Structure 1
C-alpha cells in the first residue's frame, strides 16, 4: 500500500535535488561523495538557499521585497506547521525539524538576502554580517546534518565550518567581481571601488582568504566520516578556483568570470576520491 505522506515528502526532496543538479555542477559532485543518507538533506538546504538567492538576483521586473517577505513568511509557516505545498519549503522544513536547525541561522540567512536588495557598498561590519548570513550559516546548517544531533561535535567544528563558508563566499566575490558590479552595481569588499581594483587590493583579499582556508581545513579532517570526503571535494574545488584567480592579474578579474571546466571538476573528484580511499586524501 502506498504511503502518500512519504511519497509527498520524497517528491519534495527530489525537487530540491533537481534544483541542485540544474544550478550547480560542483555542489552536486560534492554531495554525491557524501554518505547516501546525507544526500537529500543537503539537497534540501541547497534548494532553499538557491531559491532565496534567485529572488534577489534574478527577478528584476518583480517586487523583490514583496517576494522575499512572502518567502520568509512561508518558510516560517512551513517550519511551524510541518508542511508546505511549495516543495522547496516542504523539503527544507523536513530537514530543519529533523536536525533541529536553529531559527537564528535561518534569520541570518534571510537577512543577508534582504541586504542584497538595498546595499551596493559594504563597510566592515556589514561585510562581516553579510558573509555570516549568506555563507557561514549555510555551512552551519549542513554541519547540523553531518553531526546528526551530536551537539559536542557541532560546537567543536562550528568555527571551522564558518571559516569554510567565508572562504567559499569570498572566492565567489572575486570570481563574480565583474558581473556583480555590472549587473547589480555591487562591490562586496569593504572600501574597494571597482575601477580602482589593483594588485595590492587583490593580494590583501587573497591573504584573508588563505587564512580562512587554512583554519577550515583543520575542521574538515575532524568531520564525521560520512561527510568528510564530500566537504573535502568542495574545499579542493574552491582551492583550485582560488589558485586560478591568484595567478591572474586584477585587470582580468574585472573583465571576465573565472571558471573551472566540468572535465577538470570531474578529474578533481576522481583524484580526491581515490586518494581518500587509499589513505592519501
Structure 2
C-alpha cells in the first residue's frame, strides 16, 4: 500500500533548481532553462515524502510539538490569522481568489495562507516598502527578518505576525519546510539586486519565486491521498511547470511596469524596446509548453483541487492567447487582462470538469 500521506518531492536548498522531468523541452529566447530529466525528482521522492508523512500523519511533528493549532485560545488566534490571509488574496488577486473558491475549506485556507506570505514578501521588494520610504538595504533587512520569523513560526507554531502565523500553521500541517521556503526568499532577495539576469539566473529565480509555490500548494492538495512514486513525480513536475508558466506570463504582461518602475528585464537576451512579434511569440511558445506540461498532471489531482487548478490554468492560458494576439510594441503601453465575464466562464467550465474551459 502506498503511504496515504505522501506528497510531491521537495527540492534541496541548493542554489541550482532541480530540473523538471521533461527532457524534450527546448528553451525560448528568454534563456530560461528547460526541464532536463527526472532523476533529481525521483531521488528526492522517498526522503521528502517520508518527511511530509511524519508531519501530517499524526498530531505531532518530529520535535514532538503539535503540527497544527490545538487548544481553544490558539485555535481562535489561528482562525483570526487565516481570516487575515484570506483578506490579502481578496484584495490583491481576483484570478487566484476565484480559483481558490473552488477548493474545499481546508485547502482554501491553506492556499490563501501561502499566497498571503508570498504577497507580503513581494511587497517588501516590489512596492509598498519602497513607497513607504525604505531604502534597498532596509528592504533587505526587512525581508531577512520575515524569513527568520517564518522559520521560527514553523518551528514553534506561533507568530505575532498574523500572516506568518497562518503560513506556519499550514506549513506544519503539510510538511512545508526550509527546502521550499529558502529558495523562495532567495528569489525575493534577488529582486533587490539590480544586476541583469542571465539564463541560469532567471531559471533559478523562477524556481524560487514560482515553482516552489506550486510545490507548497501541492502539499496541501495531496493531504490524505494515495499516489504512487511515478504519480508524485508527474504531479511535482506539473506543479513546477504551472508555477513557471504563471510567472512567465506575468513577466510578459507586465514588461512595461517592470522596466519603467523597477528597472527590470526578466527576459535575458531580449531588448524590450525593440522586441519583435517573432521574439514575443517564441517566449509564448515556451509558456505554452509549460502550460501543456501542467495540464498533463491535472487528472492526478484530487477532484476539488483539480477544479481550482484547472480554473487558474484556464485563466493564464487565456492570458497567453491574448498576449499572442497583442502586438509586441503594444505591450509597452497596454496591460492585457482577462475580463470578469471571461473569468466566470472559465471557472464554470472548470467546475463542470477539467478541460471543459477549453471547449
State the TM-score, normalized to the length of structure 1.
Answer: 0.94
Aligned to 1:81, which of 137, 152, 156?
156
Match in the other structure for 2:319: 241
Residues in 2 aligned to 1:229 and 1:200: alpha-carbon distance in whole angstroms: 34
Greater Cα offset, 221-230 or 84-93: 221-230
DSSP 3-state at the match of 1:204:
helix
Q: Render the CA deviation track for 1:111-160: whole Å, top value 9, x for unaligned.
A: 00000000452110001001100100000000011111657454341011
Match in the other structure for 1:267: 345
Residues in 2 aligned to 1:133 and 1:114: alpha-carbon distance in whole angstroms: 10
CA contact (8 A) 1:147 1:154 kept: no
Q: Render the CA deviation track for 1:226-278: whole Å, top value 9, x for unaligned.
A: 21000000000000111011001101111121111223212321233235599
Quote the offset at 1:78 in angstroms.
1.1
**Larger helix fraction of residues:** 1
Give unmatched runs, 5+ long, in structure 2.
1-70
Q: Render the CA deviation track for 1:23-47: whole Å, top value 9, x for unaligned.
A: 1011011011112321101111011
CA contact (8 A) 1:120 1:185 kept: no
Residues in 2 aligned to 1:275 and 1:121: alpha-carbon distance in whole angstroms: 42
Greater Cα offset, 194-203 or 182-191: 194-203
Match in the other structure for 2:26: none
The one of the two structures with greater contact order (alpha-carbon pairs below 8 A, sep at least 6) is 2
Residues in 1 aligned to 2:142 and 2:273: alpha-carbon distance in whole angstroms: 33
Match in the other structure for 1:97: 172
Greater Cα offset, 214-223 or 178-187: 214-223
Greater Cα offset, 263-272 or 69-78: 263-272
Give unmatched runs, 5+ long, in structure 1.
none
Aligned to 2:182, which of 85, 107, 111?
107
DSSP 3-state at the match of 2:103:
coil
CA contact (8 A) 1:146 1:224 kept: yes
Instruction: Say yes or no: does 1:147 pair with 2:216.
Output: no
Match in the other structure for 1:230: 308
Residues in 1 aligned to 2:291 and 2:340: alpha-carbon distance in whole angstroms: 23
Residues in 1 aligned to 2:165 and 2:353: alpha-carbon distance in whole angstroms: 37
DSSP 3-state at the match of 2:233:
helix
Aligned to 2:258, which of 180, 202, 205?
180
DSSP 3-state at the match of 1:260:
coil
CA contact (8 A) 2:310 2:355 kept: no
CA contact (8 A) 1:144 1:154 kept: no
Q: Render the CA deviation track for 1:5-27: whole Å, top value 9, x for unaligned.
A: 21111110110011111110110
Which structure 1 residue ranges, 4+ long, deviate > 6 Å from structure 2? none
State the TM-score, normalized to the length of structure 2.
Answer: 0.74
Aligned to 1:53, which of 122, 133, 138?
122
Residues in 2 aligned to 1:57 and 1:208: alpha-carbon distance in whole angstroms: 25
Match in the other structure for 1:40: 109
Residues in 2 aligned to 1:277 and 1:258: alpha-carbon distance in whole angstroms: 23
Aligned to 2:196, which of 118, 121, 132?
121
Instruction: Say yes or no: does 1:135 pair with 2:210.
Output: yes
CA contact (8 A) 2:249 2:316 kept: yes
Instruction: Say yes or no: does 1:163 pair with 2:238.
Output: no
Match in the other structure for 1:211: 289
The CA RMSD measured in Å over matched residues stands at: 2.0
